[in-house]
């Protein structure tokens, strides 16, 4: 089948999905609940197959895969099933007494046909989590998984039609050309997770149809590492920092720590702690022990090797630095004070390199962060309440986490999303439901009472009544009606 034929077939298929949505079937609570139960069953019955696909694509240990993807999804489905009736219910809106006899509320209604373009680093998590909220909100959904995780993409295409309504939830695997064909179509909302470069393409395509988008783009997430007096605090902080850098898809995650900021006088102590904990956490041979995932493909491996090819960067390595091209594996690597103008420090790393930048005083970290594009997350390991307050008030980011990293991602009660260059829109838990819903305003009035001054012909007396009415001044309205109060007309 030629390109035009494939495109036409895709258009016909998507038209059928939209027609199915228009039938009203997806709006029914029973349908929504059935899709969520189907997802729960999929995650339970096909857990082993999901492990194997993620292992094939990224070399992740199955425990890491459960922690970062399957477990998050199981929890997300459970929350949605428990909360569905509440999420779907109208919310009463408060109106002032002066509006009597009027009632108002908001009703969440589905947007329609949703396109989810997911990323390869969490191939199941980033594909299915948006679907949880989208079907809970009553939408039809099309998933375009990443072609860079082919085993996961193929498994999603196989399993979704088995466990969910195949007329309303579809997987369309394929390369960038297929992605562009999908973007050429009309959608009611698009969620994209990936690079800013592709995000621009998504926005440009969406603009043609005035389609709203949610972009999750990532960025360089800093970790501010303050001096911690307690040895327990130091070791705990280092463990959490390492896990958020090397222990999450080998740093190939949008919310992974990108670089660390520390005072010059404390850098040696931090490096020594990092070296010791790397050996303890990941072992002498992380590849054989499968404690660190591999790089996704040769292209990204070459990109990371190029980052380290700069002699001025290579000379700053204090730990690691070895590459295994055959197995697409790079060991955890630490460098101290690489040039700030190097690609390592101007591009998102998305790999197992941890640059440490030294500062004269830790408070300088605030200006350092502010001088760069707003990150998806800021992590600060500190017990200094004044520093915490300054970070919150003087920096901008998608989220801030104190004394840990990445854990904010699994909290469904917190919105996940970026700001500025790191993206816009938010999801997780109820926030996903809300992102894929329209809050329709509904107002109802009785006929008993009416405000006659709403209608022409106009006079200054009516103007005075408007002036007190818009201030919700009930007594003022009474006095104005009785002619006991007059407003000055400017």
Instruction: Supply the pTM of this predicted model.
Output: 0.93
**Where residue 342 sits, what CATH number does that domain have?**
3.40.309.10
**pLDDT for the residue numbered 490:** 63
Determine whether 421 is an active site residue. no
Do residues 433 and 403 both lie within one domain? no
Do residues 171 and 309 both lie within one domain? no
**pLDDT for the residue numbered 332:** 97
Neighbours of 189 (CB within 10 A): 24
DSSP 168: T
Residue 352 lies in a domain: yes
Determine the 3-state secondary structure of 214 from DSSP. strand
> Would you report the helix, strand and coil content of the chain in percent, each value rounded to 5?
50, 15, 35
Do residues 230 and 359 both lie within one domain? yes
What are the structure tokens assigned to 164, written together? Answer: 């969910």
Residue 43 lies in a domain: yes
Catalytic residue among 214, 221, 249, 254: 254
Query: 């101290």: which residue's tokens?
Result: 336
- From 354, 355, 351, 353, select the one nearest 294 (Cα to Cα): 351
Q: How many domains in the chain? A: 3
Residue 116 lies in a domain: yes
Residue 419 lies in a domain: no
Do residues 181 and 229 both lie within one domain? no
**pLDDT for the residue numbered 272:** 97
**pLDDT for the residue numbered 2:** 66
**pLDDT for the residue numbered 448:** 84
Do residues 230 and 190 both lie within one domain? no
| DSSP of 125-149 | HHHHHHHHHHHHTT-EEEEE--TTS
- From 12, 350, 358, select the one nearest 196 (Cα to Cα): 350
- Could you give the CA distance from residue 245 to residue 465 in angstroms, rounded to a whole number? 63
Do residues 129 and 247 both lie within one domain? no
Determine whether 216 is an active site residue. yes
Do residues 182 and 270 both lie within one domain? no
Per residue of the chain (490 residues), what is the pLDDT tens digit?
567 777 888 999 999 999 999 999 999 999 999 999 999 999 999 999 999 999 999 999 999 999 999 999 999 999 999 999 999 999 999 988 778 889 999 999 999 999 999 999 999 999 999 999 999 999 999 999 999 999 999 999 999 999 999 999 999 999 999 999 999 999 999 999 999 999 999 999 999 999 999 999 988 999 999 999 999 999 999 999 999 999 999 999 999 999 999 999 999 999 999 999 999 999 999 999 999 999 999 999 999 999 998 999 999 999 999 999 999 999 999 999 999 999 999 999 999 999 999 999 999 999 999 999 999 999 999 999 999 999 999 999 999 999 999 999 999 999 999 999 999 999 999 999 999 999 999 999 988 888 889 999 999 999 999 999 888 888 888 898 888 887 666 6
Residue 180 lies in a domain: yes
| DSSP of 271-296 | HHHHHHHHHHHH-S-HHHHT-SPPPS
- Any alpha helices (H) in 226-358, and if so which ranges? 231-245, 267-282, 286-289, 298-309, 311-314, 343-346
Neighbours of 175 (CB within 10 A): 10
Do residues 152 and 291 both lie within one domain? no
**Where residue 90 sits, what CATH number does that domain have?**
3.40.605.10
- From 240, 114, 261, 279, select the one nearest 188 (Cα to Cα): 114
**pLDDT for the residue numbered 484:** 83
Are 134 and 21 a contacting pair, CB within 8 Å?
no
Residue 423 lies in a domain: no
Are 313 and 307 a contacting pair, CB within 8 Å?
yes
Do residues 315 and 193 both lie within one domain? no
Residue 422 lies in a domain: no
- Could you give the CA distance from residue 481 to residue 465 in angstroms, rounded to a whole number? 8
Do residues 177 and 316 both lie within one domain? no
**pLDDT for the residue numbered 316:** 97
DSSP 488: P
**pLDDT for the residue numbered 78:** 98
Residue 437 phi/psi, 5-degree rounding, is -125, 155
Do residues 361 and 258 both lie within one domain? yes
CA atoms within 13 A on the CB side of 252: 24
Neighbours of 59 (CB within 10 A): 20
Range of the domain at 261: 222-414
Do residues 142 and 254 both lie within one domain? no
Residue 420 lies in a domain: no
Catalytic residue among 64, 69, 129, 216: 216
Are 433 and 80 a contacting pair, CB within 8 Å?
yes
Distances, alpha carbon 429 to alpha carbons 79, 80, 121, 137, in Å: 7, 7, 21, 12
What are the structure tokens assigned to 122, written together? Answer: 């969490």
Q: Is the dihedral of CA 379, 381, 382, 383 positive or negative?
A: positive
């Amino acid at each position: 089948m030629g390109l035009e034929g494939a495109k036409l077939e895709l258009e016909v298929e998507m038209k059928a999905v939209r027609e199915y949505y228009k039938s009203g079937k997806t709006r029914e609570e029973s349908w929504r609940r059935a899709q969520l139960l189907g997802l729960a069953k999929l995650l339970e019955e096909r857990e082993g197959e999901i492990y194997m696909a993620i292992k094939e694509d990224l070399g992740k240990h199955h425990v890491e895969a459960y922690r970062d993807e399957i477990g998050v999804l199981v929890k997300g489905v459970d929350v949605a099933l428990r909360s569905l009736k509440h999420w779907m219910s109208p919310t009463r809106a408060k109106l002032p007494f002066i509006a009597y006899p009027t009632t108002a509320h908001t009703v969440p209604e589905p947007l329609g046909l949703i396109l989810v373009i997911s990323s390869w680093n969490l191939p199941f998590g980033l594909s299915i989590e948006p679907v949880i909220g989208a079907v809970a909100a009553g939408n039809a959904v099309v998933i375009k998984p990443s072609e860079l995780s082919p085993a996961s993409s193929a498994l999603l295409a196989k399993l979704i039609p088995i466990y969910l309504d195949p007329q309303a939830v579809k997987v369309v695997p394929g390369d960038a050309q297929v992605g562009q064909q999908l973007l050429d179509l009309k959608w009611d909302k698009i969620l994209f997770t990936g690079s800013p470069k592709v995000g621009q393409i998504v926005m440009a395509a969406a603009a043609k149809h005035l389609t709203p988008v949610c972009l999750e783009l990532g960025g360089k997430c800093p970790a501010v590492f303050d001096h911690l007096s307690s040895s327990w605090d130091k070791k705990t902080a280092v463990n959490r920092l390492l896990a958020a850098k090397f222990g999450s898809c080998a740093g190939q995650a949008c919310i992974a720590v990108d670089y660390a900021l520390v005072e010059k006088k404390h850098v040696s102590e931090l490096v020594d702690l990092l070296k010791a904990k790397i050996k303890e956490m990941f072992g002498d041979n992380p590849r054989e022990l499968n404690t660190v995932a591999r790089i996704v493909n040769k292209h990204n491996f070459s990109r990371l090797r190029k980052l380290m090819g700069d002699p001025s960067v290579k000379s700053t390595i204090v730990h690691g630095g070895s590459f295994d091209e055959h197995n697409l594996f790079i060991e955890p690597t630490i460098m101290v004070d690489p040039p700030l103008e190097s690609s390592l420090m101007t591009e998102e790393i998305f790999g197992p390199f941890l640059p440490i930048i030294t500062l004269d005083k830790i408070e300088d970290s605030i200006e350092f962060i502010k001088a760069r594009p707003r990150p998806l997350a800021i992590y600060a390991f500190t017990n200094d309440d004044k520093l915490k307050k300054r970070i919150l008030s003087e920096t901008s980011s998608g989220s801030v986490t104190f004394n840990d990293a990445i854990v904010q991602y699994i909290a469904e009660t917190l919105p996940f999303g970026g700001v500025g260059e790191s993206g816009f829109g938010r999801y997780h838990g109820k926030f996903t439901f809300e992102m894929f819903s329209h809050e329709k305003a509904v107002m109802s009035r009785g006929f008993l009472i009416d405000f006659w001054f709403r209608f022409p012909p106009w006079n200054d007396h009516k103007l005075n009544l408007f002036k007190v009415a818009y201030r919700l001044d009930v007594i003022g309205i009474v006095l104005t009606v009785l002619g006991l109060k007059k407003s000055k007309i400017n």
